[in-house]
């Protein structure tokens, strides 16, 4: 009940916007396909002809011969039931116009690698059935996501007589890299993040679990994680990976080596650092000695037991720079040792572009190269900085980047993609939530959102994270799936419509025409909640009473303080 109330309060303002999007006129042959169905990311082609909406039969069911789809089908059956809440929106019996079920055909369920063609799908009305054809399980997930949007558009019905959608992504890797080292994100936040990514057809979640602040994945070296305020043990990682895979998302481990290694300090009996008078370098860059290299190999091997992934990101931002008493050659050897430790079959190392440029002769040409955030990466990806590498992942600006204009720019940046770009990712850092000491010895200023650091602040930290990401990531996701050179006004409206759709599905988003940061939800600062939970619930009930007696705009002004602290 509490979860439902929280969602109702959080959606007070966006429901008004959503209602405008969902009351669009039904499809007709005369309309443009792109403006009929507000699916985001936009499909390659979509046609919706005939003006008669088609209700779902009250016993509508989704079937497939693929047993692995069973939990996915069960989840979307529940989602559809949540969308079609009015009993009159269902067809009480089968008729010539009713949609009685969906049949999903998966032609190649064991495809090992993610390729754009493997994630393609088609949706088409076939008499009284919706027929879905796709090569892969991921394609089935994306088809079901598109279908739920179509139902929202049609107020619970297929909004036309004849529907056909043909779709496939432009890029094989579409995702987010989230810093869970600087600020631990609890499982509820991770689940909600993955749910939102699935709505956007993002397929890769990079977990940056090792940095200055901490190392947060369980290994044989218990001392690494014994005193942490948040840890992802093996069984949690297995469950999280299963949760993600059922939503078309894969988890990828991300580290930054050989620098940013302060999180290894609790294992000082086994690992050694380059020493220096510079506070930034002291105990943050790994030394080139036998004990450290052995330790590093063990850690990478242990981490890979928790991930079923095609690549392991090992960093290399400082792989060609001297550090303290370590020479450039020392630092390179440590980094190359990390790369060579990625020996799990089917998994390759991924590196930053500067490491690829400095170590061209030592790295395989099929190494996945990540362009560095903030360096006009999309325009340079595939050019001289990563010349000769076949797989390049373009990086978007680090989030949360400021303002809606910057968000729209992240969509436009895709016009500059080089021919070798096979993926794109936005990076979300949580170091602004850190307290100075655990977040990095190089800092002399307490980060602005450090009030979110204690685990007692998991709830507002979750809210700050998700509200900062969405809808900013929505722009990027649309371009990574299928870029269209649409006008700025059309782009903004489509993203606004989808933002309302996400909110109605229960996702935490920043309301349209409002700016959210790690410190503020709209104009209100995220609050501390150290008081007893009963006080929070009492305050929230008061806010809910307001929600039943005032207009939506007034509700938002009165309760967003509660919304911001969910």
Average of per-residue pLDDT values in the chain: 81
Q: Which of 150, 173, 191 is nearest to 395 (CA)?
A: 173
Output 528 or 256, whichever has higher pLDDT.
Answer: 256
546 confidence band (pLDDT: 50, 70, 90)? very low
pLDDT of 469: 93
> Are the folds of 31-167 and 173-485 the same?
no
Pick the CATH number of 31-167 from 3.90.1300.10, 3.30.379.10, 3.10.129.10, 3.90.1330.10: 3.30.379.10
CB 424 within 8 A of CB 413: no
Residue 374 is predicted with a pLDDT of: 52
Which pLDDT score is estimated for 437? 58
Per-residue pLDDT at 400:
59
pLDDT at 376 over 60: no
Per-residue burial over 52-69, b = 16 or more CB atoms within 10 Å of its CB, e = otherwise: ebbbbbeebebebeeeeb
Q: At residue 460, does pLDDT exceed 90?
A: yes
- The pLDDT of 435-451, averaged and rounded, is 71
Q: Tokens 């992504």 map to which residue?
A: 169
Q: What is the pTM of this model?
A: 0.84
3-state secondary structure of 140: helix
* Range of lowest pLDDT (349-353, 420-424, 507-511, 516-520): 420-424
State the pLDDT at residue 525: 84
- Among residues of the chain, what percentage have pLDDT more than 70? 76
- What are the boundaries of each domain within the chain? 1-30+486-566, 31-167, 173-485
HSE, CB side, 13 Å, CA atoms: give it for residue 429: 16
pLDDT at 558: 33
Write out pLDDT tens, residues 70-93.
999 999 999 999 999 888 999 999
CA–CA dist 534, 557 (Å, integer)? 23
Confidence class of residue 402 from pLDDT cuts 50, 70 and 90? low
Q: pLDDT (tens digit, 9 = 90+) per residue, 64-73?
A: 989 999 999 9
Instruction: Give 214's DSSP letter.
Output: -
The residue-averaged pLDDT of 37-52 equals 89
The CATH class of the 173-485 domain is alpha beta
Q: What is the mean pLDDT of residues 218-224?
A: 95
């Amino acid at each position: 009940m509490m979860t439902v109330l929280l969602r109702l309060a959080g959606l007070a303002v966006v429901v008004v916007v959503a209602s405008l999007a969902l009351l669009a006129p039904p499809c007709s042959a005369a309309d443009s396909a792109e403006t009929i169905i507000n699916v985001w990311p936009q499909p390659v082609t979509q046609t919706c002809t005939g003006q008669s909406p088609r209700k779902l039969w009250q016993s509508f069911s989704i079937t497939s011969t693929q047993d692995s789809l069973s939990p996915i089908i069960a989840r979307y059956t529940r989602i559809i039931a949540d969308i079609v809440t009015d009993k009159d929106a269902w067809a009480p019996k089968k008729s010539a116009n009713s949609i009685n079920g969906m049949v999903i055909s998966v032609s190649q369920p064991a495809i090992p690698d993610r390729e754009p063609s493997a994630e393609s799908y088609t949706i088409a009305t076939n008499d009284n059935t919706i027929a879905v054809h796709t090569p892969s399980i991921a394609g089935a997930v994306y088809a079901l996501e598109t279908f739920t949007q179509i139902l929202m558009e049609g107020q619970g019905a297929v909004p036309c007589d004849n529907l056909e959608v043909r779709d496939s992504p432009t890029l094989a890797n579409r995702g987010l890299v989230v810093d869970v080292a600087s600020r631990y994100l609890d499982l509820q936040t991770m689940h909600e993040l993955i749910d939102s990514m699935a709505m956007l057809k993002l397929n890769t979640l990079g977990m940056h679990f090792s940095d200055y602040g901490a190392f947060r994945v369980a290994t044989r070296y218990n001392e690494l994680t014994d005193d942490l305020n948040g840890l992802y043990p093996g069984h949690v990682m297995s469950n999280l990976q299963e949760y993600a895979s059922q939503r078309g998302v894969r988890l990828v481990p991300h580290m930054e080596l050989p620098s940013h290694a302060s999180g290894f300090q609790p294992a000082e009996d086994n690992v050694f650092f380059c020493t220096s008078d510079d506070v930034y370098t002291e105990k943050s860059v790994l030394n080139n000695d036998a004990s450290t290299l052995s330790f590093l190999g063990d850690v990478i091997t242990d981490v890979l037991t928790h991930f079923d992934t095609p690549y392991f990101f090992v960093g290399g931002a400082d792989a060609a720079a001297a550090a303290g008493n370590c020479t450039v050659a020392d630092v390179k050897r440590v980094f190359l040792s990390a790369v060579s430790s990625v020996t799990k079959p089917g998994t390759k190392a991924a590196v930053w572009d500067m490491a690829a440029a400095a170590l061209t002769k030592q790295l395989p040409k099929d190494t996945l190269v990540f362009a560095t955030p903030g360096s006009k990466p999309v325009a340079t990806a595939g050019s001289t900085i990563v010349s000769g590498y076949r797989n390049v992942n373009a990086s978007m600006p680090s989030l949360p980047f400021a303002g809606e204009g910057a968000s729209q720019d992240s969509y436009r940046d895709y016009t500059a993609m080089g021919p070798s770009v096979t993926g794109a990712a936005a990076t979300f850092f949580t170091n602004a939530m850190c307290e100075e000491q655990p977040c990095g010895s190089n800092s002399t200023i307490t980060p602005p959102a450090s009030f979110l650091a204690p685990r007692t602040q998991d709830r507002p930290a979750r809210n700050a994270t998700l509200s900062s990401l969405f809808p900013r990531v929505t722009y990027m996701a649309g371009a990574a799936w299928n870029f269209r050179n649409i006008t700025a006004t059309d782009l903004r409206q489509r993203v606004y419509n989808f933002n309302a759709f996400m909110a109605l599905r229960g996702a935490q988003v920043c309301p349209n025409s409002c700016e959210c940061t790690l410190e503020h939800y709209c104009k209100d600062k995220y609050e501390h909640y150290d008081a007893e939970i009963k006080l929070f619930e009492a305050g929230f009930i008061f806010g809910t009473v307001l929600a039943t007696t005032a207009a939506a705009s007034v509700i938002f002004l009165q309760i967003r303080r509660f919304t911001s602290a969910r």
